[in-house]
Amino acid sequence: MKKLLAAAAGAALMVAAAAGSASAADKLKACWVYVGPHNDGGYSEGHDKGRQLVDKELGDKVETSYVESVPEGPDAERVIERLARSGCKIIFTTSFGFMDQTIKVAAKYPDVKFEHATGFKTADNVTTYNARFYQGRYIIGQIAAKMSKTGTAGYIVSVPIPEVIMGINTFMLGAQSINPDFKVKIVWVNSWFDPGKEGDAAKALFDQGADIIVQHTDSPAPLQIAEERGLHGFGQAHDMSSFAPKAQLTAIEDNWGPYYVERVKAVLDGTWKSQQSWEGLKEKMLIMAPYLNMPDDVAAMAKDTEAKITADPLLPFRGKVLKQDGSDAGPIDDGVLLGMNWYVKGIDDKFPQ
Amino acid sequence: MEGLEGPLLTIITASTPLLLAALGELVTERSGVLNLGVEGMMAVGAVCGFAAANLTGMPMLGVLAAILGGMVIAFLFGLLTLGLVTNQVASGLALTLFGLGLSALIGDAFVGVPGPGMPKLYIPGLSDIPLVGRIFFAQDFMTYLAWALVIAVWYFIFRTRGGLVLRAVGDNHVSAHALGYKVIRVRFLAVLFGGACAGLAGGYLSLVYTPQWTPNMTAGRGWIALALVVFAAWLPGRLVVGALLFGAVSYLALYLQGIGVGIPSQFLSMLPYLTTIVVLVVISRNRTLLRINTPACLGQSFVPDR
Amino acid sequence: MRIELIRRPEHSRTMVVLSPIIAIALTVIAGFFVFLAIGVDPLQALYIYFIEPLTAGWSIEALFVKAVPIILVAVGLSLCYLANNWNIGAEGQFAAGAIAGSVFPILVPGWNGPEVMVAMLVMGVLGGMLYAAIPALLKIRFGANEILTSLMLVYVAQLFLDWLARGPWRNPEGHNFPDSRPFDGGQVLPVLVGSDVRISLVFAVVAVIVAWFVLRRTLTGFQISVLGQAPRAGAFAGFSQNRMILLTFLVSGGLAGLAGICEVAGPIGMLRTTVSPGYGFTGIIVAFLGRLNPIGIFFAGLLLALSYLGGEGMQIALGISDQITRVFQGMLLFFVLACDTLIYYRIRFVRTGQHPAGEAKHGRA
């Protein structure tokens, strides 16, 4: 009796599944792999918003799906391969740690296009893409130097990858362009997302005399602390002003949507080619949230710098850049930036090794 | 002295959720039940509190919902471990897993939404006293509640008949049963109280500490609360010391980086955990203290003999 | 009406077999309602979750890749738990094994003959054992609660690994990203079947068989269960509690360490800042799902691996949050634990006011 019931249930399941898959039309399948939850309020959510834009703009020709909270490592490989098997024609793997897995799976599925965010390995069917976030960091560095009364910013960071180091350095260069004696205090929280710890770090930094907070972590907690104390900070990845309407000066917003639409379209049109994209303010892969809670002249300066960087992506490094020990860093191009493993002069944190 | 005020305030707020959750677990363990699911109950409390406060716009309703949420899932634990005498360690771990997953499911719609926040209560006059004023008399209501609870729990355990029964049940369920106490009922109430406190602690995180909801926002605090109970040798007074010490060490780990001591941040981040281990060892060496206070039936199931 | 547990004079052999099946059935039924509640077609969802992953060769392969580290960890933990030692720090021992095992490929990169693998595996096992010895010795020497010390040591190991992979052991040619150099040649575990099922599957099977044999057929196994169920009787019989604490911790640490180095030298292929998506904690669930029986653990490991694959399938096909996986795992464990009660007890529904015969005994400790 039990067996019979089980068999009947199994048959019913099969029928249901068949009915489910039959309804899928002949749309192009575009797929995403996220390292965090799709609604983490930070990095992965930024990518998911991009995916939603694809849904919105190309919904009649494209079907999207995603897998979230995928651990970097063997699980990522399985998930990417599974997406390739399930008929995805273009797969965006959105975390650095998915690099080797993306390359490995791509070799097995030459007909599927792969796009890996923030990495450096490409293949005939693998493109890399990333945003020039440092551009925004230069602007907020200038704003911080103008707005700070103590001349000290607190900087909360996750983990020392080049992206983050680049951000700290450009922030400092921006601040020094306004106030050469500007100081920055750095706290590594070793996590991309831990509201409690980020909030505590913000408090510790404020307690040490910083009056402006910068973060390269994903939660709005540091801004909430700034709001509570009547001080200022900057949003990360999103406009976080709803969490801190009086504290947020601006935010460096991730804006992957237009790029995703463009690349999925390229697959539809058959014009997709492997490339290495590194886009910035000019291409609107990052955008600055409205400049709020600051005097008009500071906002005007910020807009001016934004316009200049839009015209010249490497503007922050046009002057002579000195390393922490005072030696000349030499001319800085994309290659140097992407492998940055030193601090600029004026940062008195020990470089994390 | 001026410079001390900020750090002290931070340490007190950082300790409050730990203190609340640990206090509940202390009562649970005093009854002889080990509930390792604190982290899961906190997560459910956090999401229920945030959701209720957000939907109604009333933070106080959020606090109630957080307590209820914690109790509901603690009820589940009680049903399993007390009703069906399942292994407490395994059930607690399952509760953590289940609670974290469930909270994320419930909270899906509330990620990225700012919370209503909870106003601070300034006690007129007293809050203006330099240094101590802001530390003792200008906290949010839940911090006061936590401190009041410590005293209440201490009073209950050591000064009331109910507390005596609770300890009797935790120390020797067979004799307690023989004396006519309802072992299972007492334990069930203790488990529910633990759930309420853990839920409240979660609510503190999502309503006061960082007014927002995100999956996994408890970030391991439930486990620290469990360690604190042992550290405190099941004594509420020592719990306060433990919670403050842990809050201070965590804060110090961040503060030292800001000063720039040049020690890799990973090693500073280890500090709170290493401190916990050292403290556990030190406390465990004091056998007399532990012998007197450890509930002898901790973690053991009981099926009444009728 | 009230529910009452009546202890069976002898444990029920029927229920030993039936209880896991009932538990799985209850999970499926509860899952049905969960899916209904979140507005998904429950039948389709259940199919994708539980059956689809078993319908293709590659996903069965993936099932084994995922299950191997979990089974290795869980088998070790089950010995600990049977002896009443609550090691919940396998995640840290896993990392310790990964670190120790990576010493040769990272510090002596040129040594990549087949013999280096033996050295790596030995180092991995030793790393896990030494790390597990800490909570064991703290318990023996100071009576420190091993649940908490072993858990705290997880965070310490993870932070240490993070520091190593970002700092001294970072690949100098890796664009400053936090990975070690990729292992090559003999530093990588040989593949057994397909593309990713490696020799570590053999280790897992051997571990299961050896553990089963030790528990059933040796004096040590007998000591483990006696000391676990009745410590005092064990002491009277002259069994050393302390020796057993150390032994079970070392075995479970060693197996977790082995799983760690097998992951690093296998599917990952290098040392990274994180080497485990929580296998040490999943191992705890699997140990209990398998009811602390090595053979049961083998199947429980596969079942849990299935829940991960099923969870991914649900996301791809139905766009359901991955948190559903955790809810399912939690429910499954709840039901397994609850159904276990049926092995030792009969459940009786009593109308209030009625006095049943006093045949019950005290609970199991």
DSSP-assigned letters across all residues of C299-311: HHHHHHHHHHHHH
Quick check: C351 contacting B, CB < 8 Å? Answer: no
Nearest CA in chain A to C63: A78
pLDDT tier at C160, thresholds 50, 70, 90: very high
Q: Which residues contact B201 (CB under 8 A, 6 or more apart)?
A: B16, B17, B18, B20, B21, B24, B42, B45, B221, B225
| Nearest one of A204, A287, A212 to A248, comparing CA atoms | A212
Instruction: Average the pLDDT over each of A2-6, B6-10, B13-17 and give the range with the smallest value.
Output: A2-6
Q: Which domain holds residue C176?
A: 67-281
Whether residue B119 is predicted with pLDDT greater than 80 in this model: the reply is: no
Burial class (CB in 10 A: 0-12, 13-18, 19+), C221: middle
CB contact under 8 A, C337 and B90: yes
Q: Two tokens at C16?
A: 């030993």
Give the nearest partner residue to A341 out of C168, C176, C266, using CB atoms.
Answer: C176
Nearest CA in chain A to B120: A228
pTM of the entire structure? Answer: 0.86
Phi, psi (rounded to 5 degrees) for B269: -65, -25
Do the chains contact at A352 and B104, CB–CB below 8 Å?
Answer: no
Smallest CA–CA separation between A109 and chain B, in Å? 34
- Decide if B95 and C330 are in contact by the 8 Å CB cutoff: yes
* Chain B neighbours, 3+ Cβ pairs < 8 A: A, C
State the Cα–Cα distance between residues C339 and C336, nearest whole angstrom.
5
Phi, psi of C321 (to 5 degrees): -50, 145
HSE-CB at A344 with a 13 A cutoff on CA atoms is 26
Predicted confidence at residue B135, as pLDDT, reads 60
Which tokens hold the place of A350?
């020990």
Q: Which residues of C touch A67 (CB under 8 A)?
A: 312, 315-316, 322
How high is the pLDDT of residue A11? 46
Partner-chain contact B102 C142, CB within 8 Å: no
Touching check for C236 and chain A: CB below 8 Å? no
CA distance B103 to B217: 10
Enumerate residues 212 to 241 of chain B having a beta carbon within 8 A of any beta carbon in chain C. Answer: 215, 220, 223, 226-227, 230
**Tokens standing for B289?**
């203290």
Question: Chain A within 8 Å of C359 (Cβ-Cβ)?
Answer: no
Query: Considering CB atoms only, which of B211, B216, B250 is closest to A224?
Result: B211
| CATH number for domain A133-253+287-338, candidates 2.60.40.10, 3.40.50.2020, 3.40.50.2300, 1.10.12.10 | 3.40.50.2300
DSSP string of chain B, one letter each residue: -HHHHHHHHHHHHHHHHHHHHHHHHHHHHHTT---TTHHHHHHHHHHHHHHHHHHHS-HHHHHHHHHHHHHHHHHHHHIIIIIS---HHHHHHHHHHHHHHHHHHHGGGGBT-------B---TTGGGSTTHHHHHHSSBHHHHHHHHHHHHHHHHHHHSHHHHHHHHHHH-HHHHHHTT--HHHHHHHHHHHHHHHHHHHHHHIIIIIS-SB-TTTTTTHHHHHHHHHHHTTT-HHHHHHHHHHHHHHHHHHHHHHHHT--S-HHHHHHHHHHHHHHHHHHHHH-HHHHHHHS-TTTT-------
Give the gap in angstroms from C-alpha C194 to the nearest C-alpha of chain B: 33
Say yes or no: C59 contacts chain A, CB-CB below 8 A. Answer: yes
Residue C227, number of CB atoms within 10 A of its CB: 25
Q: Which helix (H) or strand (E) holds A278?
A: strand A276-279
Task: Give the per-residue pLDDT at A18.
Answer: 42
Measure in Å the smallest separation between the Cα of B131 and chain A Cα atoms: 14
Closest CA to A251 of A110, A341, A140: A140
Q: What is the pLDDT of residue A272?
A: 95
What are C350's strand-pairing partners?
Answer: C2
Q: Are A277 and A130 in contact (CB under 8 A)?
A: yes
- Name the residue facing B257 among A188, A196, A220 (closest C-beta): A188
Residues of A contacting chain B (CB within 8 angstroms): 37, 39-41, 45, 154, 185-190, 193-201, 203-208, 210, 219-221, 224, 238, 242-243, 348-350, 352-353
Q: Which residues pair with A254 in a beta bridge?
A: A286
Give residue for tokens 């976080």: A240
Q: Tell me how far CA of residue C173 lies from CA of A126, A259, A323, B190, C181, in angstroms.
A: 21, 30, 21, 58, 8
Q: Is the minimum CB–CB distance between C166 and chain A shorter than 8 Å? A: yes
The answer to whether residue C289 neighbours chain B at the CB level (below 8 Å) is no
The DSSP call for residue A65 is: E
Q: Does C160 touch chain A (CB under 8 A)?
A: no
A349/B111 Cβ within 8 A: no
In tens, the pLDDT along C299-309 reads 999 999 998 89
Backbone angles phi, psi at A160, to 5 degrees: -80, 75
pLDDT at residue A13, as a whole number: 45
Place of tokens 């192009």: A28
Distance CA A197, CA A191 (A): 9
* Chain C residues 98-137 with CB within 8 Å of chain B: none
Q: Where are the domains of chain A?
A: 25-131, 133-253+287-338
User: Cβ of C69 under 8 Å from any chain A Cβ?
Assistant: no
Residues of B in contact with A219 (CB under 8 A): 210, 212, 214
Q: How many domains does chain C have?
A: 1
What pLDDT does B121 receive? 56
Give mean pLDDT, residues C256-282.
92
Question: Looking at the domain B2-293, which fold is it?
Answer: ABC transporter involved in vitamin B12 uptake, BtuC (1.10.3470)
Domain boundaries, chain B: 2-293
Q: Averaged over B174-196, what is the pLDDT?
A: 93
State residue C318's pLDDT score.
83
- C321 domain residue, yes or no: no
CB contact under 8 A, C44 and A13: yes
pLDDT of residue A334: 87
Closest residue to A16, CB basis, from C44, C59, C274: C44
Provide the chain B residues 34-53 that lie in CB contact (below 8 A) with chain C. Answer: 36
Compute the nearest-CA separation of B105 from chain C (Å): 6
Calculate how close chain C gets to A144, using CA atoms only, in Å.
Answer: 28
What residues of chain C lie within 8 A of the CB of A68, using their CB?
315, 321-322
A25-131 is a CATH 3.40.50.300 domain: no
Chain-wide mean pLDDT for chain B?
A: 87
Q: Is residue C166 part of a domain?
A: yes
Give chain B's radius of gyration (CA, Å): 19
Chain C interface, best mutation among A79, A82, A116, A169, by max C CB count within 10 A: A82
For chain C, the average pLDDT equals 87
Alpha-carbon distances of C74 from A285, B183, C258, C284, C300, rounded to whole Å: 46, 34, 12, 6, 10
Judge: A204–B262 Cβ closer than 8 Å, yes or no.
no
Strand A113-117 and strand A126-131: the pairing is: parallel
Q: In terms of Cα–Cα distance, which of C148, C151, C146 is closest to C135?
A: C146
C148 vs A278 pLDDT, higher one: A278
pLDDT digits (tens, 9 = 90+) for B74-117: 999 999 999 888 888 889 988 998 899 899 888 888 887 887 76
For residue C66, what is the nearest residue in chain A, using CA coordinates? Answer: A75
Tens place of pLDDT per residue across chain A (353 aa): 444 444 444 444 444 444 444 344 589 999 999 988 887 778 888 999 999 999 999 999 999 999 988 888 888 999 999 999 989 999 999 998 899 899 999 999 999 999 999 888 899 999 999 999 999 999 999 999 999 999 999 999 988 888 899 999 999 999 999 999 999 999 998 888 888 889 999 999 999 999 999 999 988 899 999 998 899 999 998 899 988 999 999 999 999 999 999 999 999 999 999 999 999 999 999 999 999 999 999 999 999 999 999 999 999 999 889 999 999 988 898 888 887 889 999 898 888 76
The answer to whether the Cβ–Cβ distance between B265 and A208 falls below 8 Å is: no
Interface test with A, best of C65, C177, C329 (most A CBs within 10 A): C177
Instruction: Please give the DSSP secondary-structure letter assigned to residue A123.
Output: B
Q: Which of residues 5-34 of B touch C (CB under 8 A)?
A: none
Nearest by Cα to C268 from C198, C177, C194, C176: C198
Instruction: Identify the closest residue of chain C to B272 by CA–CA distance.
Output: C152
Residue predicted with more confidence, A302 or C226:
A302
DSSP string for C7-74: E-SS--HHHHHHHHHHHHHHHHHHHHHHHHHTTS-HHHHHIIIIIGGGSSHHHHHHHHHHHHHHHHHH
From the list B83, B80, B82, the residue with the least C-alpha distance to B93 is: B80
